[in-house]
Amino acid sequence: MRGGFEDHFLTNPLSSLIGDFGNPDSSDIQENNLSPSPANFFLIPPELVNLIIGHCDLDELRTSSLVCRGWRVLTIHTLFSKVSLSPTTALAFVEFLRSKYGALVRGSVQLLSLTSGSDFAHSSISDTTLEALSALLQPSHLKLTIHNNAGSKRVDGLFWWGRQSKDLSGFQRSFKTVTNLELNMFSDTFIEVAKMVSSFPILENLTISGVWLPADYEEEKDDEIPVSDQIDQELPEKHISLPCTLHTIRLPSLFPSSIFLHWLHSHENPPQISTLILRGIFTSSLDLTSTCLRTLGETLKNLTITGLMAQNVRHGELDLSRNTDLRTLALHNPWTQSSEIAFRVLSQVTSSSLEEFELSAWDPRGDPKDMTYWPQLDSLLAEPQFSCLRRITINVNMATRHAVEGRLPIMTSRGLVQFRNSMITY
C-alpha cells in the first residue's frame, strides 16, 4: 500500500484525516450522500475489493471511502493496518485512539512499528504510553527498534554513541497478542534481548538483529567476546527461555553472531523450530551452528544459510545428519565457491524429503575448481535420496546465465532448474 499512517502523520492532524472519511453513522452518510452498500457490491469478491483498495494512495482512499459503507470500513482498515511510531508521535497517537475517531481504527492495526531511542536522540517511549498502546491495540505483527546501550564503543569501524540504559519492562509487559516479532536491539547485555523475546507468550515468528556488547568493550583489545559465560550463568538462573510456540527464527545480522545460537542450544526443551534463517556464519561459530542444528533435529524443515565459505565445510563441519525431515535448503554464498559449498553441504544431508534447493552462482569459468564441482553436484542430486526434489533455483547474473545452464545437465533434463536474477547481500 502506498499510503499509510506513517507517511502523513506529521503533516495531517489525525482528527481531520479521519474526518475526511467521516463518522459512519446515519446522519454522516446522508450528509456526504453516502449510500448503503448496493446489492451489486456484494457480487464483488472481498479479496478483489481488498486488492483494489490495497493499491490506493491516500487521496484515492478518501475517494474510495465515499462509494458506500462497505468500502468506508475497508478503506479505514487499510489505511491503519500498518502504523509506525516514534517517541515524538506515540503519545499523540494514543490521544487519537482515545477520541471518537480512534474507535474506528483500533481493531485495524495489524503491524505496529516502534522506535525508541537513537544514536543521536536521547528519547524513549514512556511506559505509560506503551501501556496505553497495548491496551488500545492488538497487533499481531510488531517491529521494535530499541537503542539501550550505555557508554560508547567502536564495532566494525563504526562508533556507537551510548546513553544511560533504561528499564525496558514497559515493553516486556506490552503487546501480548503479537505472534510475529522483528526486533532490532542495541544493548550492553544479551540478557535484555532475551527478556524482551521471552515476554511474548504466543510468539510464532522471530526476526532478531542488533549489537549487544558490554559498555567497556574495545574492538582493538577484545578479539573474542565472553558470551557463553553470560548466558550460562544468567539465563538459566532467571528462567529466561524462548516461547514454546515459536517455529520460525531469522537471524539476519547479529554481533556477536553466536550469542543467540548459544541461548537456543542452552534450552533443555527448545521450541519446535521448523524454519531457521542464518546470515554471516563464520568459522568461529560453525561448531555451535552444527550443535544447534543437531538439537533441532527432525523438527527443522526449512534452512537458509548465508555467508558460508568453502574452507568452512571441506571437512564436514556443518552437521545436518539429524535433520532427517529437511524440506528446503538455501545456500547464499560467495558465487565463485557456490558449487563446492553446495556439493559439500548436500553431502551431509540425510533427509530424503528435500523438495527445494537454492544456491547462488557466478560464471563457473571464473574459478577452475568450480568447473569440477558442478558435475559432482549434478550427479549427487540425481541420487535416489533426492528423488523428492522438484525445484532447483539458481540466483545468477543473467549476463552469465548461459555459462551455468550447462553445468547441471541431469537436473536440467528433468526440468528442475530455474534461474533468478537476484543479488544476495552477504
Q: What is the pLDDT of residue 334?
A: 63
The answer to whether the pTM exceeds 0.85 is no
Residue holding cell 574495545?
Answer: 218
Beta bridge partners of 153: 160
Whether cis (ω within 30° of 0) applies to the bond prior to 256 is yes
Q: Cβ–Cβ contacts within 10 Å for residue 165, how many?
A: 17
Between CA 109 and CA 167 the distance in angstroms is: 26
Q: What is the pLDDT of residue 27?
A: 43
Q: What is the pLDDT of residue 24?
A: 44
Residue from 164, 140, 143 nearest 152 by CA: 164
Between CA 389 and CA 357 the distance in angstroms is: 8
Between CA 380 and CA 388 the distance in angstroms is: 13
- The dihedral through the CA atoms of 100, 104, 105, 106 has a sign that is positive
Q: What is the pLDDT of residue 130?
A: 94
| CB 142 within 8 Å of CB 116 | no
Tell me, which fold does domain 274-426 have in CATH?
A: 3.80.10
Q: Which residues contact 368 (CB under 8 A, 6 or more apart)?
A: none
Q: Cβ–Cβ contacts within 10 Å for residue 59, how many?
A: 10
User: What is the amino acid identity at position 310?
Assistant: A
CA angle 241, 245, 248 (to 5 degrees): 95
Q: In b/e form, how buried is each residue of 267-280, taking b as 16+ CB within 10 angstroms?
A: eeebbebbbbbbbb
Q: Which residues contact 415 (CB under 8 A, 6 or more apart)?
A: none
**What does pLDDT average to in each consecutive run of 10 residues of the chain (426 residues)?**
43 46 43 47 71 80 76 80 91 92 86 77 79 95 84 48 64 93 87 90 94 56 48 56 95 75 85 90 70 92 89 81 96 78 93 94 62 90 96 84 83 92 56
Q: What is the pLDDT of residue 7?
A: 41
Between CA 355 and CA 328 the distance in angstroms is: 6
| CB 286 within 8 Å of CB 261 | no
Cα Rg of the chain, angstroms: 25
User: What is the amino acid identity at position 47?
Assistant: E
Domain ranges of the chain: 1-79, 81-249, 274-426
Q: Which residues contact 180 (CB under 8 A, 6 or more apart)?
A: 140, 141, 142, 203, 204, 205
